[in-house]
Amino acid sequence: MLIGFIGRYYLYYYHRYSVQVTMELQCKIQTYDWGKLGSESTVAKLVASNDPNFVVEPSKPYAELWMGTHPNGPSLIIERDILLSEYLKNNHDAVGILVKKKFGVTIPFLLKVLSIRKALSIQAHPNRENAEKLHKEFPDLYKDPNHKPELTVALTPFEALCGFRLLTEIKEYLAKLPELTQVLPKESVSALLTNEEHGDSDRVLKKVFHELMICDKAAIANALKSFLKRLENEDAETKTFLLYDLIKRLHNDYPGDVGCWAPFFMNYLQLRPGQAIFLKANLPHAYLSGDCVECMACSDNVVRAGLTPKHIDVSTLVDMLDYSSYSIQQLLFQPQIEDGNTCIWRPPVPDFALVKIRVESSSEPYNTVVRASPSVLIVTSGAGRAADCEPLRARPGLVLFLKASRQLTLTPDEGNHLEAYQAICNV
């Protein structure tokens, strides 16, 4: 009888823990000041949808949901009550041979949802070599030695600054911004305005941008006030061209901040849901508003220079930036269609790729593509079931970890759909 009991227990354990390839995760919410408040936040709505015990506080900023193993916000496997990072130490098969060979026993990506009420800092992420150098020299400021390329996909209308504008656009703006050009060195402004892009435009732009960033704070603040006061009485066309509403909004959130001038140097992107941008190393950017899914290398490495109360490192940022000019179309990052239910964004890095899955109720249950990688998946809309060996109720906010080389079956409820984003390694 004892042997029979042991046998049944073994079979139960094997079924529940060895065969089981999908595990629900409890993930970390970050309440940064720039996050959307209360139920206005997609982060808060997703978590509340999947957890009936979660109480949304109306005045609390719910900025980010972190899904992965980064020590600043590690995910917990709910059923096992163990951190995902700890589980992997004794379950190397969950990572897969290719990922283990390339990165070790770890998940090299971090999946996030962001809900942005006001602008994040003007920033860039160093490449791996520079990240290691900054971490070694200034460990208190740069606590992460890893690079941080990242991909952003809009869930709602989404605003961002990204990459330096075409030089012709910057020159056109400066010609109509006497408030700004009067506080910058005349020689540098003249060199930029007369530059005909004969190979030295990057150097000229770097000089002007550096001088802007280190300009006297009082002079910058007064120039902003004069600019906004002048535009109050301008016609609608002029206000639109000179981005009056945007600059006024940035100034209200960060009064007198030098970063309020950044939209005249950087591309102003207004993404529709489903559009994406890839932020490679050293590309300047700042998210301004909206909700998005973000996938990145497992890092929290940021160098900032404006629109923030946090540490600003102008000299490091200015030296590392990519001063190439980009059009908006060059910055939009297109996915590849895999099948009738999935598209995938594959950036030129091995750390991560991002898959969007959508299954309609009119179709058959969908088996996800087998990946030679572990994955983290979040349901963002719809309702139904997610199953490997035992079905889970799939609703917005459900976050799952899926072992390498395994499949998940998604079945929408009748008359509904399921939409999810799945982060994987790009191997």
Identified catalytic residue from 165, 304, 358, 406:
304
Whole-Å CA distances, 168 to 12, 122, 246 = 68, 22, 21
* Structure-block tokens of residue 292: 């998005």
Is 304 considered catalytic here?
yes
Nearest to 296 by CA among 347, 352, 372: 352
Nearest to 84 by CA among 401, 386, 377, 390: 401
Whole-Å CA distances, 245 to 44, 208, 224, 228 = 28, 24, 13, 10
- Active site (catalytic) residues: 304
